[in-house]
Amino acid sequence: MKNVDIPSPARDVAVLINRRAVGHSLEADFYTSQKFFDLDLTAIFAEHWLFSATEAEIPDPGDYVTVGVGPYSVIIVRDDDDGVRAFHNVCRHRGSRILQDGCGSVGNLVCPYHQWTYRVDGTLVYVESQPPQFDRSASGLRSVHVRSIAGLIFICLAEQPPPDFDEVAAILEPYVAPFDLKHSKVAHQSDLIEDGNWKLVMENNRECQHCDVAHPELLTAYFPLFGYSANDIHPRIRPVFDRYRAAQEQLTQACSLTDFPRDGRRELDTRITGFQVSHMPLDGSGSSFGPNGDPVCRRLMGVIPDARFGDLSIHLQPNSWFHLLSDHAVVFRVLPLGPERSIVRTTWLVHRDAEEGVDYDLDGLTSVWNATNSQDRELVAGAQQGVADPGYLPGPYSMVEGDVEAFVSWYLQRLRAHVRS
Amino acid sequence: MKNVDIPSPARDVAVLINRRAVGHSLEADFYTSQKFFDLDLTAIFAEHWLFSATEAEIPDPGDYVTVGVGPYSVIIVRDDDDGVRAFHNVCRHRGSRILQDGCGSVGNLVCPYHQWTYRVDGTLVYVESQPPQFDRSASGLRSVHVRSIAGLIFICLAEQPPPDFDEVAAILEPYVAPFDLKHSKVAHQSDLIEDGNWKLVMENNRECQHCDVAHPELLTAYFPLFGYSANDIHPRIRPVFDRYRAAQEQLTQACSLTDFPRDGRRELDTRITGFQVSHMPLDGSGSSFGPNGDPVCRRLMGVIPDARFGDLSIHLQPNSWFHLLSDHAVVFRVLPLGPERSIVRTTWLVHRDAEEGVDYDLDGLTSVWNATNSQDRELVAGAQQGVADPGYLPGPYSMVEGDVEAFVSWYLQRLRAHVRS
Amino acid sequence: MKNVDIPSPARDVAVLINRRAVGHSLEADFYTSQKFFDLDLTAIFAEHWLFSATEAEIPDPGDYVTVGVGPYSVIIVRDDDDGVRAFHNVCRHRGSRILQDGCGSVGNLVCPYHQWTYRVDGTLVYVESQPPQFDRSASGLRSVHVRSIAGLIFICLAEQPPPDFDEVAAILEPYVAPFDLKHSKVAHQSDLIEDGNWKLVMENNRECQHCDVAHPELLTAYFPLFGYSANDIHPRIRPVFDRYRAAQEQLTQACSLTDFPRDGRRELDTRITGFQVSHMPLDGSGSSFGPNGDPVCRRLMGVIPDARFGDLSIHLQPNSWFHLLSDHAVVFRVLPLGPERSIVRTTWLVHRDAEEGVDYDLDGLTSVWNATNSQDRELVAGAQQGVADPGYLPGPYSMVEGDVEAFVSWYLQRLRAHVRS
Report the SS3 class of residue C390: coil
Residues B94 and B201 grouped into a single domain: no
Residues on chain A bordering chain C, Cβ-to-Cβ distance under 8 angstroms: 13-14, 17-18, 35, 38-39, 41-42, 46, 71-74, 88-98, 100, 112-115, 127-131, 134, 139, 142, 144, 416, 418-420
Residue among B6, B202, B229 with most chain C CBs within 10 A, to mutate: B6
Instruction: Based on the fold, state whether residues C115 and C70 are members of the same structural domain.
Output: yes
B3 contacts C14? CB cut-off 8 A? yes
**CATH code where residue B126 lies:** 2.102.10.10
Write the CATH number for B371.
3.90.380.10
Q: Indicate the residue type of B77.
A: V
Q: Of the candidates A56, A369, A91, C387, which has an alpha carbon nearest to the alpha carbon of residue A65?
A: A56
Contact residues on chain A for C29, CB-CB shorter than 8 A: none
Asked if the structure places residue B371 within a domain, the reply is yes
Q: Looking at the DSSP assignment, which residues form a beta bridge with residue B66?
A: B75
- The whole-number average pLDDT for the span A84-100 is 98
| Cβ within 8 Å, pair A71-C390 | yes
Residue C7's nearest CA partner among A70, A96, B1 is A70
Judged against a pLDDT cut of 70, whether residue A188 lies above it is answered with: yes
Which residues sit opposite C418 in a β-bridge? Answer: none
Q: Which residues in chain C have their CB less than 8 angstroms from residue A127's CB?
A: 398
The two beta strands, B124-126 and B311-316, are unpaired
For CA atoms B374, B379, B385, B388, the dihedral sign is negative
SS3 C26: coil
Q: Is A249 exposed, middle or buried (0-12, 13-18, 19+ CB in 10 A)?
A: exposed
Residues of C in contact with B391 (CB under 8 A): 72-74, 88-90, 142, 144
Low-confidence ranges of chain C (pLDDT < 70): 1-11, 227-230
Q: Is residue B381 part of a domain?
A: yes
The angle subtended at Cα A81 by Cα A76 and Cα A85, nearest 5°, is 20
Q: Verify that A214 and A109 share a domain, yes or no.
A: no
Residue A194: what are its φ and ψ, rounded to 5°?
-110, 140
A99-105 — which CB contacts under 8 Å span 24+ positions? A99/A64, A99/A66, A99/A75, A100/C382, A101/A66, A102/A65, A102/A66, A103/A57, A103/A58, A103/A63, A103/A64, A103/A65, A103/A66, A104/A63, A104/A64, A105/A60, A105/A62, A105/A63, A105/A64
What residues in C contact B5, CB-CB < 8 Å?
Answer: 42
The answer on A26 and A90 residing in a single domain is: no
Which partners does chain B have (≥3 C-beta pairs < 8 Å)?
A, C
Nearest CB neighbour to C398, from listed A128, A144, A418: A128
What tens digit of pLDDT does each residue of B318-333 get?
999 999 999 999 999 9
Query: Which DSSP string do the residues of A270-311 spell out, in sequence order?
Result: SSSS-EEEEEE--STT-SSSSGGG--S-SSPPTT---S---E
Nearest CA in chain A to B127: A398
Furthest CA-CA distance within chain A? 85
The secondary structure of A190-231, three-state, reads EEEEECCCHHHHHHHHCCCCCHHHHCHHHHCCCCCCCCCCHH
Task: Please calculate the CA angle B405-B408-B413 and round it to the nearest 5 degrees.
Answer: 120
CB-nearest partner of C398 from A17, A46, A130? A130
* Residues with Cβ within 8 Å of residue A149, at least 6 apart in sequence: A169, A172, A173, A176
Cβ-defined contact of C386 to A91 (cutoff 8 Å): yes
B with C: how many residue pairs have Cβ under 8 Å apart? Answer: 115
Average pLDDT per consecutive 10 residues, chain B (421 residues; last block may be shorter):
39 88 97 96 98 98 98 97 98 98 98 98 96 95 98 98 98 98 97 98 97 93 78 82 94 93 96 98 94 95 95 98 98 98 98 98 97 98 98 97 98 94 71
**In-domain check, residue A400:** yes
Contacts of C among chains (3+ CB pairs under 8 A): A, B
Domain count, chain C: 2
Is residue C323 domain-shared with residue C372, that is, in the same domain?
yes
Say whether C343 sits in a helix, a strand or coil. strand
Alpha-carbon distance of A36 to A105, in angstroms, equals 37
Q: Are residues A188 and A134 in the same domain?
A: no
Residue A11 domain-assigned (yes or no): no
Distance from CA of B189 to the nearest CA of A (A): 25
In a domain, residue C31? The reply is yes
In this complex, do B394 and C95 lie within 8 Å of one another by their Cβ atoms?
A: yes
Residues A329 and A406 in one domain: yes
10 Å CB burial of residue C21 (0-12, 13-18, 19+) is exposed
Please indicate whether, in this complex, the C-beta atoms of B383 and C96 are within 8 angstroms of each other. Answer: yes
3-state secondary structure of C265: strand
Alpha carbon of C410: minimum distance to chain A alpha carbons (Å): 18
Query: Quick one: pLDDT at residue A6?
Result: 39
pLDDT at C184: 98
* Distance of alpha carbon B345 from alpha carbon B190, whole angstroms: 6
> Of A17, A38, A112, which has the smallest distance from its Cβ to C382's Cβ?
A112
Q: Are residues A166 and A289 in contact, defined by beta-carbon separation less than 8 angstroms? A: no
| C419:B1 CB<8 A | yes
- Residue A406 is which amino acid? A
- Do residue C7 and residue A42 have CB atoms under 8 angstroms apart? yes
Question: Which residues on chain C are in Cβ contact (under 8 Å) with B208?
Answer: none
- Residue, of A319 and A239, whose pLDDT is higher: A319
Domain with B157 in it? 49-161
Considering only the beta carbons, identify the residue of C7, C387, C398 that sits closest to A95.
C387
The distance of A42 to chain C (nearest Cα, Å) reads: 8
- In percent, how much of chain A has pLDDT > 70? 96
From the list A1, A382, A400, the residue facing B100 with the nearest CB is A382
Rounded CA gap, B290 and B302, in Å? 20
A405 → chain B, closest CA residue? B94
Q: Are residues A151 and A267 in the same domain?
A: no
Tens digits of residue pLDDT in B264-273: 999 999 999 9
Q: Which residues of C touch B395 (CB under 8 A)?
A: 91-95, 139
Exposed (0-12), middle (13-18) or buried (19+): which is A420, by Cβ within 10 Å?
A: exposed
Instruction: Please give, rounded to a whole number of angstroms, the shortest distance from the CA of A168 to a CA of chain B.
Output: 31
Higher-confidence residue: A407 or C239?
A407
Q: pLDDT confidence of A419, banded at 50, 70, 90?
A: confident
Considering C123, C141, C161, which residue would you say is the last residue of a domain? C161
- Flag whether A108 is in a domain: yes
Average pLDDT, chain A: 94
Kindly list the residues from chain B whose CB atom is less than 8 angstroms away from the CB atom of residue C416: 1
Q: Do A93 and C209 touch (CB under 8 A)?
A: no
Contact across the interface for A95 and C394, Cβ inside 8 Å = yes
Instruction: Give yes or no: residues A151 and A181 share one domain.
Output: no
Residue A2 counted as domain residue: no
Q: Cβ neighbours of residue A344 under 8 Å, at least 6 residues apart? A: A191, A192, A194, A201, A332, A333, A334, A373, A377
What is the spatial distance between Cα C281 and Cα C223, in angstroms, rounded to a whole number?
8
A218-232, A301-315, C265-279, range with the lowest pLDDT: A218-232
The CA dihedral of C179, C180, C184, C187, to the nearest 10 degrees, is 20
- For residue A143, the cross-strand partners are A87
Q: Between chains, do C391 and A88 touch, taking CB under 8 Å as contact?
A: yes
Q: Is the Cβ pair B130, A3 closer than 8 Å? A: no
Of C210, C385, C387, the CB nearest to A114: C210
Residue after which a domain boundary falls, among B139, B161, B183: B161
Nearest to A1 among B98, B114, B420 (CB): B420
Of C115, C136, C161, the last residue of a domain is C161
Where b means 16+ CB within 10 Å and e means fewer, C233-244 reads: eeeebeebeebb
Is the CB of A383 less than 8 angstroms away from the CB of B93? no
3-class SS of residue A256? helix
Q: Is pLDDT above 80 for A259?
A: yes
If you count them, how many residues does chain C have?
421
How far is residue A298's CA from residue A158's CA, in Å, rounded to a whole number? 42
Question: CA B112 to CA B267: how far, in whole Å?
Answer: 45
In a domain, A3, yes or no: no
Are residues A32 and A111 part of one domain? Answer: no
Same domain, C180 and C225: yes
DSSP bridge partners of A186: A349
Characterize C378-400 residue by residue with b for buried, 16 or more Cβ atoms within 10 angstroms of its Cβ, and e for exposed.
ebbbbbbbbbbbbbbbbbbbbeb
Whether A96 sits inside 8 A of C386 (CB atoms) is yes
Sheet holding A109-110: strands in order across? A109-110, A117-118, A124-126
| Domain match, A36 and A61 both | no
